Amino acid sequence: MNPAAFDVVDGVPHYKLFIDGEWTNSSRNMLHDDINPATGKVFVRTQLAGAAEVDRAIAAADTAQKAWAAAMVAERETILLKTADVIVRRTPEIRDLLIEECGSVFSKALWEIDYVVDALRVAAGDARHVMGETMPMTMPGQISMSVRKPLGVIAGIAPFNSPFLLSMKKIAYALAVGNAFILKPSEETPLSGAIIADLFDEAGLPKGLLNVVPGVPSEVGDQLIADPRVKMITFTGSTKTGRHLAVEAAKHLKKFTLEMGGKSPLIVLADADLDYAVDAAAFGVYLHQGQVCMASSKVIVEAPLFDAFVEKFKIKTAGVKVGDPKDPETVIGPLIRARQCGFIEGQLQDATAKGAKVVAGGTYEGHFFQPTVLTGVTPEMRIYHEESFGPVVSLIKVEDAEEALKVANDTEYGLSAALITNDMQKALDLSLRLESGMVHVNDTTISDEPHVPFGGVKNSGFGREGGRYSLEELTEVKWVTLQMGKRQFPF
């Protein structure tokens, strides 16, 4: 990190805000403790932005964006590609930060970094695909066309579970099409926002185009929404917060995209390969301790395969290593929020009181929750409906594919779904009827690429991210006509 990004006080780095290309202190003199979830100890502190700093960030972005929108597309491409190269060179540093700040295990941290590099390169290529079209007209001599223009200043509110990936996914496309960006990182992972600013700064991004303002969520978020210079809010996080942002943005007629929670089902039909289905389910449940909006938290298995699936899944779970996220062999590290362990414990107590059975796990120590498997889960139980955001799965037995579909759709969420079967006709039929923004056949529920239409339906989201879908969200269409010769008017 740039030494200007922080001061060291009593041996602890105190990170600053990044506004208009400079590392700056907050006038409110408030600090946030950034806690390593594996140790429970503060490893850095970050400045919290107040109203004055947020206003400076908006002003800087608004000023810088105009020149950036007018820049040649090759300039925007070059910056994005240089940033990708900087990340490749600084991968060990970023990996260690993700492990320390958000409890990413070794392999997950590297995957997140690889995705970001890919996303920046894809966005650089897509910068040349901001296209309009021509349209036939009834007026003689008139040419009609549409053009796409950048919105202006985009504000992004990022989550804590994959802060590097989910922030960069928004920033890369916003910059690619000519917007400026203000990032409000999660209060759990503000250092990830700081390193993003440092990476772009090293790559030569012009001042003011990216500003990073960690702060009290309600204060910073509401100010960004209310300011008319901010043209769009893009959010990833909880459904509760997303609903609030949508209401507030609507009051200002402000564009927004939301990527929110999920209760993503994985259907395993009776003809599935048992070992493969178990492996797919385990990955979908336990990746990043289950702190993934796409996590396969409900695995729905047809009756003929159910008992064998449960036994195999218990064996698989017993072999999952829980522990130090720096160890490359660790699969499950710490939950970012210690209080989440108590929340999950409450779900388990409710479920078992109503007849469910914990067949593996069910305990925790500190931030570490053991991989947990339940059977006998029914709609009367909280865990049937609520996200756990931890390494917990409900294995649910159904009689046939139609009941599996009914159970899968019995949720307020609709982000991702998956099904495993060798019957491709049945797979296509179920895919089209699953109430989900994304469906994966013979795979797990966790899947993402920089160029695909990522997003959900129902209470899981509004809008799409990735590739040309981001291009559409982050630009506005303008209709332009050109009259050749003189138009004949009726009077």
259 is known as an active-site residue: yes
Strand partners, 418: 266, 440
Cα separation, 425 vs 435, in Å, equals 18
Residue 253, phi-psi category: left (phi > 0), alpha (psi -120 to 50), beta (remainder): left
341 is known as an active-site residue: no
- For the CA atoms of 381, 386, 392, 397, the dihedral, rounded to the nearest 10 degrees, stands at 50
In sequence order, which residues have a C-beta less than 8 Å from that of residue 370 and are 6 or more positions away? 322, 360, 361, 362, 363, 364, 391
Q: Using CB atoms within 10 A of its CB, is residue 176 exposed (0-12), middle (13-18) or buried (19+)?
A: buried
Burial code of 123-139, b = ≥16 C-beta within 10 A, e = fewer?
Answer: bbbbbeebeeeeeeeee
Residue 321, phi-psi category: left (phi > 0), alpha (psi -120 to 50), beta (remainder): beta
Cα separation, 351 vs 341, in Å, equals 15
First to last CA, the chain: 69
- Annotated active-site residue in 77, 293, 302, 465: 293
Chain CA centroid to CA 345, Å: 25
- Annotated active-site residue in 259, 387, 435, 465: 259
Q: How crowded is the C-beta side of 147, counted as CA atoms within 13 Å?
A: 6
Q: Which two tokens stand for residue 318?
A: 């017993």
Which residue is it, tokens 């060291």?
8
Q: Torsions phi, psi of 59, nearest 5?
A: -60, -45
Q: Which two tokens stand for residue 462?
A: 């509004």
Task: Order the strands of the 31-36 sheet from edge to edge.
Answer: 6-9, 12-15, 41-47, 31-36
Task: State the catalytic residues.
Answer: 259, 293
